Amino acid sequence: MTTAKRTGRSRRSRPSGDEREQAILATARRLLAERPFAEISVDDMAKGAGLSRPTFYFYFPSKEAVLLSLLDPLIQHADSGLSDISAVPSDPGRAFRDGIHTFFSAFAADPVLARAGAEAVSTNPEVRTLWSGFMRKWIDQTAALIAAERHRGAAPETMPAQDLATALNQMNERAMIAAISGEAGAVAPERLVETLTHIWMTSIYGTR
């Protein structure tokens, strides 16, 4: 009877699959606050989560997959804001400001992950492919909006819409990373959204 009770308690105390997965994510999050992603290994994540290396691979195929899982909520949040301005807005200034604010705040809320993601984009194909896909989506949405505004006479014909959209979105990306990372010469975070909104408005609508 005593053995049965102990066995029952032992089984109940074992972490579930979800708990193990969350332990890996939490460990990765903690390690990213201590050192660059490139210096973190699968063994580091597994050990920190109290798991063996083979058990780690049961939940994630690579350390990059762990980072992608951590980044996904941030990217989805950013995407929700930029997708909202894909239709022709009745108030462009407010629409751009709200979209850029959502984009910036999504990553500024977790600068550790934002910096890790920026680092991984330049070094890892998996992360780069994911980010490039979203950037292409945002650029294409912006280009379509610019073309629509020009078609209805609200915006002047200047630079090719696709080129302008590419430059504006890449500017958002670079300015955001610089502000979050505290780079020398970066626009202060509290002024970034208004600064970018001004550039978007003047670039698309002229002096408006």
Q: What is the DSSP string of 176-195?
A: HHHHHHT-TTPPPHHHHHHH
Residue 202 confidence (pLDDT):
97
Contact in structure between 139 and 162 (CB atoms under 8 Å): yes
Collect all residues with Cβ–Cβ distance below 8 Å to 73 and sequence separation of at least 6.
none
Ordered by start, the domain boundaries in the chain are: 15-60, 68-205
pTM of the model: 0.84
- Rounded Cα distance, 161 and 204, in Å: 9
Tens of pLDDT, residues 102-152: 999 999 999 999 999 999 998 889 999 999 999 999 999 999 999 999 999
Residue percentage of the chain with pLDDT more than 70: 88
| 68-205 CATH | 1.10.357.10
pLDDT in the model for residue 207 = 62
Q: Does domain 15-60 have CATH number 2.130.10.10?
A: no
Contact 104, 82 (CB under 8 A): no
The contacts of residue 79 (CB under 8 Å, 6+ apart) are 134, 137, 138
Segment 16-42 mean pLDDT: 93
